[in-house]
Amino acid sequence: MTGHTQSITSHSKDWAWPYWLPVPIYPYGQRRTLRQEIIPEWIWTFDQIQGIFYVVVPIRMTVVRLEAGGLLVYAPVAPTPECLRLVQELVEQYGEVKYIILPTVSGLEHKVFVGPFARRFATAQVYIAPHQWSFPLNLPLRWLGFPMARVQILPEQSADAPFADEFDYAMLGPIQLGLGPFAEVAFYHRRSRSLLVTDSVLSVPNDPPAVVQLDPFPLLFHAKDSALDNPIDHPANRRKGWWRTALFAFYFQPSALTVPGLAELLREAVKAPDRSKKAYFGLFPFRWKANWQESFAALHRGGQLFVAPVLQALILNRAPEATLAWVERVASWDFERILPCHLEAPIAASPEQFRRAFGFLQGQPDLPESDFEFLRELEETLVQRGVTPPIQS
């Protein structure tokens, strides 16, 4: 990995994010930012965290210096004072933020940050993927703070974009899902041979990402084997908690996980060493089977690229031909690294490795079917209720 990690200030006012209610997930109104220089003087990532029930993973924006001067921002994160200061340091060296990209359409996870971020950079043009929608309320972009006078839809052809001299892009979707479509726009920065993606491909690191380790409490929470445990803050326990966090994040209920009965949960909660509100008053509704590490090993696979199980089971299999056509378009670019919006970055990867990650659409699964059991049941329920269309035959 090239570059260094930016140090973190200790003043919590720097982490303030007052607009957390539309997406009320951890860490709510306090978001720390970690900046990393990926390509010296050309590309930087800005990591924050998000999660539910302490299943905490990174969410990332990428900033690219433009040859013509200025910066392009891909998938903004929360513009806290700390985040804005770290961006401003780049502005002072390389010029104003010229373009802000919203590369996805669904939900609010990335969208909620774009309007507030854009309003802090008053001359930036905002380019968004077409077919925007949000859940649980389909809010107009204006209501999310987008400066509509500066908002434009990304042209269908990347050659028609104002940054075409430096970037190619390809749109996946829209894939119709019932509540709203799925879509993602992958960007290729030709100078650095870097591929920027949102959710389509990922790599799980063996150790917890640096931004997750800024506050180890969520990791130690999931390092427990029962409510009676109180793991010390040690690298091995942080890693144990991270492995379990990754399994939760991707499978929701992996095969190695069981949930004890209510009576047992309450008995243990009364005896828990930590019964604070932060620790959910001692409640810990998880039990891990003896072989749970094997599930993580099958997910990690030495850091190989893969497509998230949710995308495999519920989304991309609804449009396999369109997805594979997009994969071939992206694989035609000569990239050598991938920068996703979540988990590991940068990932050293070739176009062929990117192509192989989508082998599940051609009958070549890369993850154990046993861990998909909950997702398969969820898929069946969503199809029966008409929320999700059935798989194409």
CA distances from 50 to 110, 209, 231, 306, 367 (A): 11, 13, 22, 21, 25
- Beta-carbon contacts of residue 220 (< 8 Å; ≥ 6 apart): 231, 233, 237, 238, 241
Give just the sign of the alpha carbon dihedral 117, 123, 124, 127.
Answer: positive
How far is residue 16 from each of residues 19, 20, 121, 176, 301, measured CA to CA in Å? 9, 10, 18, 36, 37
Q: How far is CA 213 from CA 180, 245, 256, in A?
A: 35, 13, 25
Axis-axis angle for helices 292-300, 235-251 (nearest 10): 80
Which of these, 353, 345, 354, lies nearest to 1 by C-alpha position?
345
Cα 42 from Cα 71, distance rounded (Å): 9
pLDDT at residue 4, as a whole number: 39
Pick out the chain residues at pLDDT < 70: 1-11, 392-393
- Would you state the pLDDT for residue 6? 40
pLDDT of amino acid 5: 39
- Of 3.60.15.10, 3.40.50.150, 3.20.20.100, 3.30.565.10, which CATH number belongs to 12-203+307-356? 3.60.15.10
Residue 149, φ and ψ in degrees, nearest 5: -65, -20
Q: In the prediction, which pLDDT does 11 show?
A: 52
Would you say 9 and 39 are in contact if contact means Cβ atoms under 8 Å apart?
A: no
* Alpha-carbon distances, residue 14 vs 84, 89, 352 (angstroms): 9, 15, 42
CA–CA distance, 58 with 52 (Å, rounded to integer): 12
> Rounded to whole angstroms, how far apart are CA atoms 61 and 314?
25
- What's the CA gap between 35 and 196, in Å, rounded? 16
In 3D space, the residue among 290, 315, 84 whose CA is nearest the CA of residue 198 turns out to be 315
pLDDT of the residue at 2:
37
- Domain boundaries of the chain, sorted by first residue: 12-203+307-356, 212-302
Mapping DSSP to helix (H, G, I), strand (E, B) and coil, where does residue 115 land? helix
